[in-house]
Structure 1
Amino acid sequence: MNSTGRRRFAIVGDPVMHSMSPAIHTAGYAAYDIDAVFEHLPTTADQFGRVVAALRAGELAGVNVTMPHKERAFAAVDDLDEVARRSRAVNTIVVNDGRLVGYNTDVVGVQVAGTQAGFSDSAPVLVLGAGGAAAAAVVAMADRSLFVSARNQPDARELLERTLTEATVVSWGEGVAGAIVVNATPLGMRGEELPGDVLVVGSGLLDMTYGQGQTTACELYRRLGLPCADGFDMLVAQAGSAFELFTGIAPDLDIFRLAIKGS
């Protein structure tokens, strides 16, 4: 809470100024007449402890957490919901009676965005990455035939161990025929291509990154008539869950979509 009594929320990460979260949540506050502010809070690894201290001091009512701090957030909170506990990553922290409660709304974001994109229910899934976003993806897709790939294979195996998930680890750049590819790495945020032939043999793409417009990979898939959910689709879905955790109000997600288009 700031000096005016207005509740203060933020998105913390490094980098973070590209995030659409402030525009989204601010639109929600206006729509539901909520006296709150939501801001960008650039935060390096060395500065993350200051964010935790601000939450405990009541200076912040809650935060969204993005790369590379989701695992730091997991370690910093007092309590966890079951999804965050399973994924061992936190992207939303809420102050509740002085305790920091960690949630992972990325899991909901993956599930909702995938459903809206029209992915096949029977297709296997190939997750690229081994960090907090990848943890959310493997938990969200755990009921499918699952494959995981990371530049460092031991990181992929450690991801499966910490999330208690069964999957096959494949080499970086190796495609899986007919798979829905989930990009849980920063690749694509600035136009970089995904590795090897993962897209060539895939049947759908969920690209968890976003930058200026849709990513190159998502643009390619849509031109080919293949289903793709990009980072904006997932952002809207997970932001709806975070907004409800922060305010107690389940928002109309069209408010968030319009906020993205207008910013």
Structure 2
Amino acid sequence: MKKWFAVIGDPIAHSKSPNMHNTWFEEMNIDATYIPIHVKGDELEKAVAALKTLGVSGWNITIPHKQTIIPFLDELDPIAEKMAAVNTVVVQDGKLKGYNTDGAGFVHSLEEAIGQQKQSEVLIIGSGGAARGIAFALQQYGYHNLTITNRTVSKAEKIVNELGEGRALSIEEAENSLDRFNILIQCTSAGLANTDFKLPLSLEKLQEGAFVADIVYNPLMTPFLLEAEKRKATIINGLGMFVHQGAIAFQHWLGQYPNTNLMIKRLTEELL
């Protein structure tokens, strides 16, 4: 029987996930399809029940449901439980199990771009689900010099306390000490194609040659990355994270890891 998968979110029209997964199904001769479903916050519980009833094999979750979906799942992978955020659901024997592939997807894309830089001083900007996932994944992969900055410092402090290491800074403190960081990771939704944008913090003191990543992939070149490039940083857009988190989800569903290099090339051409 044909398998089907989905991505749910609000908004959802901008997502490239259907294109990516359907291309992989075709490349790998898998009889399956993947569709986008617009789900508002107050419809989430009904949507989960409907997906299960209609026989979905698995689905992805994007903003704003990565944390609020947890009560409607039967089980969490230990990493997702630690992160308190889910972006992938696997349906197995009628049970719904939640995973988080965002953080691992980011680390894969970071190391693909710059190699292993585990001794680096890392600044994570933001304290939402993506920032949490990336912070825990970096720690899991051996990155321990982590600093988190956020406009509401208490939210950054909460993540640091859960990590059991690292430190939290206000935006002003991060700006004043920016030249100490080798890697900056912009983890807020600022810069998405459908949002107004202002820099989450000033890059005036950015270290020349620093690695600056943005988790936003549409547009490929966010204002944050453009500003970092002007200051002679090595920039990393969000497309690699997006593709690798999708590939890890694909592997959870079907036991195979798709071709990420070709997909990054294809999506780059589409988004340019």
Q: TM-score, normalised by structure 2?
A: 0.86
In 2, the alpha carbon distance for the partners of 1:104 and 1:72 equals 14
Structure 1 counterpart of 2:132, which letter?
Answer: A
Deviations 1:203-242 (A, max 9, x none): 2212111223321222343455422221111111111111
Measure how far apart 1:123 and its partner are: 1.9
Q: Secondary structure at the match of 1:17?
A: coil
Structure with larger RCO (C-alpha < 8 A, sep 6+): 1
- Report the equivalent of 1:178: 180
Q: Which deviates more, 100-109 or 68-77?
A: 68-77
Checking the alignment, whether the CA contact within 8 Å between 1:73 and 1:102 is kept in structure 2 is no
Do residues 187 (structure 1) and 190 (structure 2) align? yes
- Report the equivalent of 1:168: 167
Distance 1:246 1:223, change over 3 A: farther
Measure how far apart 1:54 and its partner are: 2.4
In 2, the alpha carbon distance for the partners of 1:220 and 1:255 equals 28
- Report the equivalent of 2:147: 147
- Report the equivalent of 1:130: 127
Checking the alignment, whether the CA contact within 8 Å between 2:150 and 2:170 is kept in structure 1 is yes
Structure 1 counterpart of 2:129, which letter?
Answer: G
Q: CA RMSD in A?
A: 2.1
In 2, the alpha carbon distance for the partners of 1:255 and 1:6 equals 25
Q: Which deviates more, 85-94 or 175-184?
A: 175-184
Measure how far apart 1:198 and its partner are: 4.5
In 1, the alpha carbon distance for the partners of 2:29 and 2:9 equals 27
For residues 220-231 of structure 1, the aligned pairs below 5 Å read 220-222=227-229, 224-231=231-238
Identity, % of aligned positions: 29
Q: Identify which of 84, 88, 93 aligns with 2:84.
A: 88
Distance 1:54 1:97, change over 3 A: same
- Report the equivalent of 1:77: 73
Q: TM-score, normalised by structure 1?
A: 0.89
- Report the equivalent of 2:221: 214
> Structure 2: which 5+ residue stretches go unaligned?
none
Q: Which deviates more, 52-61 or 239-248?
A: 52-61
Deviations 1:59-81 (A, max 9, x none): 32211111111111333321122
- Report the equivalent of 1:234: 241
| 4+ long deviations beyond 3 Å | 219-225
In 1, the alpha carbon distance for the partners of 2:219 and 2:163 equals 35
In 1, the alpha carbon distance for the partners of 2:185 and 2:18 equals 25
In 1, the alpha carbon distance for the partners of 2:155 and 2:4 equals 36
Distance 1:43 1:149, change over 3 A: same
Do residues 260 (structure 1) and 267 (structure 2) align? yes
Q: Secondary structure at the match of 2:45?
A: helix
Measure how far apart 1:51 and its partner are: 2.6
- Report the equivalent of 1:14: 10
Q: Identify which of 45, 51, 55 aligns with 2:47.
A: 51
How many residues are aligned here? 258
